[in-house]
Amino acid sequence: SDNLAFTVVVLGASGDLAKKKTFPALFTLFDKGFLPKDLAIIGYARSALDINDLRKKIKGFLKSKDEAKKDEFVQHITYVQGAYDKSEAFENLQHTLEEREQKSQGGPAGRLYYLALPPSVYPQVCKGLKEGASQLPDIEGSWLRIIIEKPFGMDLESSEDLAEDLNKLFPEEQLYRIDHYLGKELMQNMLVMRFANRFISPCWNNQHIANVQIVFKEPFGTEGRGGYFDEFGIIRDVMQNHLLQVLALVAMEKPVSLGADDIRDEKVKVLRCISPVKGEDSILGQYVSNGKDPGYLDDETTPKGSKTPTFAAVKLHIRNDRWEGVPFILKAGKALNERKVEIRLQMRPTVANLWHEEDPNALRNELVMRIQPDEAIYYKLAIKKPGLEYNPVMSELDLSYKSRFKETYIPDAYERLILDAIRGDQEHFVRRDELRAAWAIFTPLLHAIDDGKLEPVEYKHGSRGPPEADELIRDAGFVRNESY
Ligand code: BG6
C-alpha cells in the first residue's frame, strides 16, 4: 500500500551478514526506488554504538559512487541497543516502533525483522519479539514478518526442534527462511524455462534425459573460516540447502498455479521421492596443499586432524515416473580449480546414429544452465562442420546473459529476496516441510560422517577434486563431449 509505514529491524546490525548483505541489499532497493516511501531502518545489537559511527560504517559497505544517495539512505537508520534475552529490551524496541508508526500518515505498518544472527539465538529472539515487540497498530493491512537464514539445525532432528520452537511463536506465514540460491537470476528463470517452452517441457523426463549434474565449485578454501566451516562441512554448508533447492526446481512437477504454496507443494513432493543418500553413492574429499596454497588442515582455525569433508559428490535417485532411472549427481567443493555453479542435463543418445554407428555415445546433446559466474544457458548439439567435408561435430547454441541483456541490471539474490519479503511473497523461501524433506535425504550420511564411518580422500588445492568423483559421474552414465 502507498501509505505503508515500513520498518526493517536488523537484529545483529554490527555483524558480518548485516554489513555485507543486508544493508547493501536494502540500499540498492532504496536506490532503485523499490522501498516504501515511509521508510525506517532500525539497527539492533547488544553493544553501545554511536549512531554516526554506525552510519559511517554501513556507508562503507554500500556499493555506489553516489555519495548523496548513500548519505540519504543512512539517514534512515537509527539504532536501538538491546540484549537478545531480556524482555525489557524488546519492550523498548516495541516502544520505538510504536512511536515511529504513530508518526506515519495513519496507514498500516509493515515490520520486517531481519535476524542477522546465529541460529542458536533464533528461539530466544523470536520469543522476545513475540512477547515484547509484536503488537501492530490496529490498522488493516499491517503485517509482521521475520527473515532467518541457515544453518537451520545440524540434522533432521535438530532442524525440526528449531522449527518447532519457532512455529510455537510465529506461524509459517510469518517466517521467511532464506536460501539465497533461490534469489539467483537463473533459479528464478527455471519455471519459465521448463514450463513456457514447448522445445523443452516434453523432453524433460527419463525418456530423453540420461543424467543430471548440479555442480558447485569454489576456487578458494576456508581461509580463516575453518573454525566455523568445520562444524558443518560441505554437505551442510551448500549441498543440503542450496543444491537441493536447485534440484527441486529442476525436477519438480508442474505446479497447479504460480502461487507460492502450489510451487512449494511440488518441491516438497519431489524431495520426498528421493531416498536417503547411501555411503556407497558418495565420494568425500578434503583438500591438501598443492605446495603453494594451504590445505584445509593448514588453516589455523581448523581443528587438528579434522575429517570434515570440504568436497562431496553424491548420486541421488528420484523415485517417480518422470525420473526413474536418471541419476542426479550433486557435486560441491571448496578449493577447486574454478568458480562455477551449473546445472547440466545430458540427453540420451539418438537412435541409430547415422554418423557413429560404432559409438552410440557420440554426439550427445546437453543443456547447460550456468548460474554463475556469467549467467548463461546453452545447448550442446550436433551440427555439420561447415565446409566441403561432411562431418558432424558438437557445437553450441549459446544464450549468454552478458551479451544478450547488456543494459539489464541483474539483482543480487538478497535484493530480490528482501523485496519478496516486503511484498509478502513466500515462493522463494523455504517452507518447513521442504526443509524437513531436504534433511531427511542427507541425515543418515551426515551421521555416518560424524561417527567417523566415512572419511574424505585427499585432493589438491586448485584441482578438479578427487578423481574418484569423476569416476562416480562416469559410472552414472555421463559422457564427456568436446565442442567444436
Ligand atoms: C554460503 C556458504 O551459504 O554460500 C558459503 O556458507 C558459500 O560457504 C556461499 O561460499 C556461496 O554463495 P555464492 O552466492 O557465492 O555462490
Pairing of β 77-81 and β 39-45: parallel
CB atoms within 10 A of CB 341: 23
pLDDT at 220: 96
pLDDT at 245: 98
- Tens of pLDDT, residues 50-72: 999 999 999 999 989 999 999 99
pLDDT at 433 over 80: yes
The rounded distance, in Å, linking the Cα atoms of 245 and 128 is: 31
pLDDT at 483: 66
Nearest ligand 1 atom to alpha carbon 413: 14
pLDDT at 407 over 80: yes
Handedness of CA 344, 347, 353, 354 (dihedral sign): negative
The verdict on the CB of residue 179 being under 6 Å from ligand 1 is no
Q: Which set of grid coordinates corresponds to residue 13?
A: 546490525
What is the helix (H) or strand (E) element at residue 19, kind and residue range? none
The verdict on the CB of residue 42 being under 6 Å from ligand 1 is no
Ligand 1 centroid–CA 67 distance in Å is 29
Which residue has its alpha carbon closest to ligand 1 atom 11?
238
Q: Which set of grid coordinates corresponds to residue 289?
A: 596443499
What pTM was estimated for this model as a whole?
0.96
- 1 near 9, Cβ under 8 Å? no
Q: Which set of grid coordinates corresponds to residue 472?
A: 562416480
End-to-end CA distance of the chain: 54
The rounded distance, in Å, linking the Cα atoms of 438 and 330 is: 13
What percentage of residues in the chain have a pLDDT greater than 70?
99
- 374 near 402, Cβ under 8 Å? yes
- If DSSP codes are grouped into helix, strand and coil, which group holds residue 306? coil
Ligand 1 centroid–CA 340 distance in Å is 12
Backbone angles phi and psi of 444, in degrees to 5: -60, -40
Nearest ligand 1 atom to alpha carbon 371: 16
The verdict on the CB of residue 238 being under 6 Å from ligand 1 is yes
Mean pLDDT in residue range 362-383? 95
CA distances (Å), origin 462, targets 334, 350, 465: 9, 36, 8
The more confidently predicted of residues 102 and 106 is 102
The verdict on the CB of residue 235 being under 6 Å from ligand 1 is no
The rounded distance, in Å, linking the Cα atoms of 442 and 181 is: 19
- Tens of pLDDT, residues 168-189: 999 999 999 999 999 999 999 9
Please, what is the average pLDDT of the chain?
95
CA Rg value for the chain: 24
Ligand 1 centroid–CA 365 distance in Å is 30
Query: What residues act catalytically?
Result: 242
Nearest ligand 1 atom to alpha carbon 229: 8
Q: Which set of grid coordinates corresponds to residue 62?
A: 554500500
What confidence category does residue 104 fall into, taking pLDDT thresholds of 50, 70 and 90?
confident
Ligand 1 centroid–CA 238 distance in Å is 7
The rounded distance, in Å, linking the Cα atoms of 345 and 370 is: 12
Ligand 1 centroid–CA 415 distance in Å is 16
pLDDT at 163 over 70: yes
The verdict on the CB of residue 149 being under 6 Å from ligand 1 is no
pLDDT at 423: 96
* Packing angle, helices 67-74 and 23-31, rounded to 10: 120
Q: Which set of grid coordinates corresponds to residue 209?
A: 534425459
pLDDT at 227: 85
| ipTM of the shown complex | 0.97
